[in-house]
Amino acid sequence: AAGVIQSPRHLIKEKRETATLKCYPIPRHDTVYWYQQGPGQDPQFLISFYEKMQSDKGSIPDRFSAQQFSDYHSELNMSSLELGDSALYFCASLDRGKNTEAFFGQGTRLTVV
Amino acid sequence: AQSVAQPEDQVKVAEGNPLTVKCTYSVSGNPYLFWYVQYPNRGLQFLLKYITGDNLVKGSYGFEAEFNKSQTSFHLKKPSALVSDSALYFCAVRDLYSGNTPLVFGKGTRLSVIA
């Protein structure tokens, strides 16, 4: 069965650079979440989309933005990167109509140097 | 707002012994509860969930969890632990009927099963 696909798997950027993370949810899933997991920490909710519209916002810095496109894939754009942005970024999708569990991608490990 | 507490940062058990990983939750409406497992440098894998019905839910890899409404708990259990169960376990909750609320995670419990 198709899973949530995230790209790239690993990314190294310098301070003040920008990064774009991509997420391809499971087909026909209507909801996408983005989470940030720092070293040794629990996943922190950043932002979510329902049917391509932003539906909820968590602890997402103003330097970050996200959107969901007509094909349901989502992108997390991160600008003016800081060392503290180094983390594992997860995307998850679910079918809200069927109240499924959230299915997570393998994550993108971002390292800011 | 919802929240999850996992009171133990780490749990150690001997292989073959029963294990319990504790979780308590707070949610304003009806809870939709989950357990996820995370292996090093990997994504979160779904283990089991509780929506309604039987308070004891069974999941993957022999894990089960018991929902206790009065104690607002959802402890993860396994009758006989395996070394391969060693991983980071996250409890999560969202409000079942409150729109598209995000999943809120506990801080995680590291399970170590010793041979």
Q: Per-residue DSSP letters for B27-58?
A: -SS-EEEEEEEE-TT--EEEEEEE-SS-SEEE
Residue B7, pLDDT > 90, answer yes
Q: B112 to chain A nearest CA, in Å?
A: 15
Cα separations (Å) of B85 from B29, B63, B92, B110, B113?
A: 32, 10, 19, 10, 7
B25 — contact with chain A (CB < 8 Å)?
Answer: no
CB-based contact B50:B63 (threshold 8 Å): no
pLDDT value of position B9: 93
Closest CA to A85 of A54, A105, A68, A108: A108
Residue B42, pLDDT > 90, answer no
How far apart are the C-alpha atoms of B106 and B110, rounded to whole Å? 12
Q: A70 to chain B nearest CA, in Å?
A: 19
Q: Which of A48, A55, A104 sits opposite B44 (nearest CB)?
A: A104
Q: Which residue of B has its CA nearest to A54?
A: B100
Supply φ then ψ for residue A83, to 5 degrees. Answer: -55, -35
pLDDT value of position B83: 96
Q: A8: cis peptide before it, omega within 30°?
A: yes
Q: Do A104 and B43 touch (CB under 8 A)?
A: yes
How far apart are the C-alpha atoms of B19 and B64, rounded to whole Å? 10
Q: Which residue of B has its CA nearest to A57?
A: B102
Residue A1, pLDDT > 70, answer no
Between B16 and A100, the more confident residue is B16
Residue A81, pLDDT > 90, answer yes
A99 pLDDT tier (thresholds 50, 70, 90): confident
Q: Which of B41, B100, B104 sits opposite A50 (nearest CB)?
A: B100
Residues in chain B closer than 8 A to A23 (CB atoms): none
Q: Mean pLDDT for chain A?
A: 93
How far apart are the C-alpha atoms of B104 and B101, rounded to whole Å? 9
Helix (H, G, I), strand (E, B) or coil at A49: strand
Report the percent of chain A where pLDDT is more than 90: 78
Supply φ then ψ for residue B2, to 5 degrees. Answer: -105, 155
Mean pLDDT of B76-102: 89
CB-based contact B19:B81 (threshold 8 Å): yes
Residue B99, pLDDT > 80, answer no
Residue B16, pLDDT > 90, answer yes
pLDDT value of position B30: 86
Q: Give the tens place of pLDDT for each residue, A26-80.
A: 998 989 999 999 988 889 999 999 899 998 899 899 999 999 999 999 999 999 9
Question: Residues 78 to 97 of B: which have CB under 8 A from any A CB?
Answer: 90, 96
Report the percent of chain B where pLDDT is more than 90: 77
Rg of chain B over all Cα atoms, to the nearest angstrom? 14
Q: B98 to chain A nearest CA, in Å?
A: 11
Q: B26 to chain A nearest CA, in Å?
A: 17
pLDDT value of position B71: 95
Q: Which residue of A has its CA nearest to B101?
A: A56
Residue A97, pLDDT > 90, answer no
Residues in chain B closer than 8 A to A110 (CB atoms): none
Q: Give the tens place of pLDDT for each residue, B50-83.
A: 988 899 999 999 999 999 999 999 999 999 999 9
What is the Cα A50 distance to its own chain's centre?
Answer: 14
How far apart are the C-alpha atoms of B20 and B40, rounded to whole Å? 21
